[in-house]
């Protein structure tokens, strides 16, 4: 039965999450992260959560947070995450996330957080910096360490957060004895950074891309095709992979290749001497075909919020079993008394 509570298996664990900061995931989230989650779900014991606590770092209407949390979970499932094999849950439903974060934040130097490039970028772009945004990577470290996750499938932009997670795990283990598994990033080489269509030297982003620079996976197919056709390229007219010299064309090649499975060099040969018009037309077809099934499935899933909530409750139950055991080890390690009965 979908989402049924299961006991943890002996397979190595993977864990990842996304922030519910938009109604639709974009093609970067899908290609950079979600496709690798799907590819790993058979060989690992997977924990995939909606990072609703992280999303509170951005001031958002509570109704919108609720809607986007359900929508984000629904998109995991619509994309092919199997709730029988994977625990799909909300971060806030497993209270150990907030608890372990406090303990880890007492092991984190101010300077380590001040160095985080995502924090610096967000502040530079005018986002108001609350303390939650500043300590965001510590919460993320807690998310990962609670589950003894060995691999963390994410896009390139999360690499620095994974490095601080590893640093914190090693430091904690050295000071308090072996408590945490030190996780490895799982970042696919070419597709881990999908760029903005209008500004192909910047990553596509839910919070900073313009609507024309994005491909939302739940968007209307006509708009998706239009955005791809108006993607910024260059004046050369040659379909060639060269991320430095031709970032726009290279980005479209990566998107096509990731979704169609056709190697980039084969695409270069296929479009030789054809200019950008037919190339962009085919990229648009490939993207529209890839995301079309999502929209239908999402409508089905969101039309029954009670069923979705049931799946999330079952996922949280599975997650809690693992998180609570880790948290017991953490409490013991740092010297917190066990709660009396």
Cα dist from 56 to 50, 87, 190, whole Å: 12, 22, 31
Do 138 and 101 meet the contact criterion of CB atoms below 8 Å apart? yes
**Contact between 203 and ligand TYM (CB under 6 A)?**
yes
DSSP 219: S
Active site residue 122: yes
Smallest separation, CB 277 to ligand TYM (Å):
25
Binding residue for ligand TYM (CB under 6 A) from 13, 193, 256, 320? 193
Spatial contact of 228 and 252, defined as CB atoms under 8 Å apart: yes
Torsion sign over Cα 95, 98, 101, 106: negative
DSSP 100-128: HHHHHHTT--HHHHHT-HHHHHHHHTT--
Torsion-angle region of 177 (φ positive above 0: left; ψ -120 to 50: alpha; else: beta): left
Over the window 116 to 155, marking each residue x when it contacts ligand TYM by CB under 6 A and - when it does not, the resulting string is ------------------------x--xx-------x-xx
Please tell me the distance from the alpha carbon of residue 75 to that of residue 45, in angstroms, as a whole number: 20
Binding residues with ligand TYM: total (CB under 6 A): 26
What is the smallest separation between the CB atom of 69 and ligand TYM, expressed in angstroms?
12
Among the listed residues 193, 203, 246, 280, the single catalytic one is 203
Asked if 36 touches ligand TYM (CB under 6 A), the answer is no
Determine whether 120 is an active site residue. no
Nearest to 291 by CA among 81, 83, 79: 79
Is there binding between residue 46 and ligand TYM (CB under 6 A)?
A: no
Binding segment (CB under 6 A) for ligand TYM, from list 24-32, 230-238, 311-319, 330-338: 24-32
Q: Which of residues 262-321 bind ligand TYM (CB under 6 A)?
A: none
75 vs 233, beta carbon nearer ligand TYM = 75
Judge whether 212 counts as a catalytic residue: no
Provide the binding-site residues for ligand TYM, judged by CB under 6 A. 15-19, 28-29, 32-33, 51, 54, 140, 143-144, 152, 154-155, 157-158, 161, 192-194, 203-205
């Amino acid at each position: 039965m979908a989402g049924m509570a299961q006991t943890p298996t002996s397979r190595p664990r993977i864990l990842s999450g996304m922030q519910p900061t938009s109604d639709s995931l974009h093609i970067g989230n899908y290609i950079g992260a979600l496709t690798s989650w799907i590819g790993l779900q058979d060989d690992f014991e997977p924990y995939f959560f909606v990072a609703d606590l992280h999303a509170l770092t951005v001031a958002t209407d509570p109704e919108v947070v609720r809607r986007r949390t359900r929508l984000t979970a629904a998109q995991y499932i619509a994309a092919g995450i199997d709730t029988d094999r994977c625990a799909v849950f909300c971060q806030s439903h497993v209270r150990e996330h907030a608890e372990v974060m406090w303990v880890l934040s007492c092991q984190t130097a101010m300077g380590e957080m001040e160095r985080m490039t995502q924090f610096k970028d967000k502040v530079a772009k005018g986002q108001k910096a609350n303390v939650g945004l500043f300590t965001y990577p510590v919460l993320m470290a807690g998310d990962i360490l609670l589950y003894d996750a060995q691999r963390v499938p994410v896009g390139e932009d999360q690499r620095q957060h994974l490095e601080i997670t590893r640093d914190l795990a090693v430091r904690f283990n050295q000071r308090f004895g072996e408590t945490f598994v030190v996780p490895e990033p799982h970042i696919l080489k070419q597709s881990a950074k999908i760029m903005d269509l209008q500004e192909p030297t910047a990553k596509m982003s839910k919070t900073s891309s313009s609507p024309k620079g994005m491909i939302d996976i739940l968007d209307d197919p006509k708009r998706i095709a239009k955005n791809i056709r108006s993607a910024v390229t260059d004046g050369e007219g040659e379909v060639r992979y060269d991320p430095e010299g031709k970032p726009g064309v290279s980005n479209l090649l990566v998107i096509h290749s990731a979704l169609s499975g056709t190697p980039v060099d084969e695409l270069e040969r296929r479009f030789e001497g054809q200019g950008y018009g037919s190339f962009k037309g085919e990229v648009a077809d490939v993207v529209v075909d890839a995301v079309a099934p999502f929209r239908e499935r999402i409508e089905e899933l969101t039309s029954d919020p009670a069923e979705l909530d049931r799946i999330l409750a079952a996922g949280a139950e599975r997650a809690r079993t693992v998180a609570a055991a880790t948290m017991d080890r953490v409490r013991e390690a740092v010297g917190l008394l066990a709660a009396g009965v």
